[in-house]
Amino acid sequence: MGNSSTHERGERGATLVEAAIILPVLLLIVFTIMELGLAFKDYLTTDFAAKEGARVGALAGNDVDADCSIIQSIVAGYTATDFADLQGITIFEVNESGSAVGGTSNVWTFPNNPSDDPSDCADWNQSAPSAWPPGSRDVAVGTGADLDIIGITIDTQHDWITGIPPWRGQMNIVRTAIQRLEPEAFE
């Protein structure tokens, strides 16, 4: 009988040691899935917002409020918590090879003041005077010039939650979408 209880105690001790070895590995797997899932969500949100901004910009064409429409469409794709991580929006002209045309970037940032409304374009800051004014965008067909191509770049910051290496600090997510402007509709 004494031999049986010693054997049971030994098995319980072995189970405890095995659990102590496996538990950190399981927690690391769970934290990895959580961290990468949240980072992927932010990546998809930023990618969708850039594509939506380019789509709206293509439809807005040379309307003087085109940049405001683009900003509003991008803001609509973000939740309040995601929006706080939005670093900036760049609206620029793209050439036929898909590269940004130098000197045509309109950079917009939001000051994140509690009293400001992200959907109100007046609360956004433009880093410099408009380098590519919406009214100057070419949307006319048959003028000898090609329709302009608009590019939207969104810079978002992702904050790692657990702080466990390698997920410490922040990661920038930058997504760009381009689209040719829609031609003017003639009646």
Distance between CA 74 and CA 52 in Å, rounded? 7
Distance CA 163, CA 85 (A): 17
> Based on the number of CB atoms within 10 Å of its own CB, is 75 exposed (0-12), middle (13-18) or buried (19 or more)?
buried
Instruction: Report domain extents, the chain.
Output: 2-180
| Residue for token pair 């939506």 | 52
C-alpha–C-alpha distance, residues 166 and 71, integer Å: 34
Is-contact 155 87, C-beta < 8 A? yes
Is the per-residue pLDDT at 2 higher than 70? no
10 has pLDDT over 70: no
- Reported as a pLDDT band with limits 50, 70 and 90, residue 11 is confident
pLDDT at 187 over 80: no
Contact 43, 172 (CB under 8 A): no
Q: Report how far residue 150's alpha carbon sits from residue 156's, in angstroms, rounded to the nearest whole number.
A: 20
Reduce the DSSP state of residue 71 to 3 states and report it: helix
Q: How far is CA 142 from CA 134, 157, 183, in A?
A: 20, 43, 10
User: C-alpha distances in angstroms, 83 versus 13, 129, 156, 177?
Assistant: 51, 24, 9, 19
Residue 144 binned pLDDT confidence (cut-offs 50, 70, 90): low
Helix axes 2-60, 66-76, angle to 10 degrees: 160
Give the residue with greater pLDDT, 152 vs 13. Answer: 152
Q: What letter does residue 162 receive in the DSSP assignment?
A: S
C-beta of residue 148 within 8 angstroms of C-beta of residue 137: yes
Q: Report the Cα 27 to chain-centroid distance in Å.
A: 28
pLDDT tier at 66, thresholds 50, 70, 90 = very high
User: What is residue 94's three-state secondary structure?
Assistant: strand
pTM: 0.85
pLDDT in tens, 165-181: 888 999 999 999 999 99
* Tens digits of residue pLDDT in 19-63: 899 999 999 999 999 999 999 999 999 999 999 999 999 999 999
Each residue's pLDDT tens digit, 98-141: 999 999 999 999 987 878 888 899 999 998 888 999 999 998 88
Task: State residue 7's pLDDT score.
Answer: 61
pLDDT per position as a tens digit, 71-97: 999 999 888 778 888 999 999 999 999
Cβ neighbours around 179 below 10 Å, total: 18
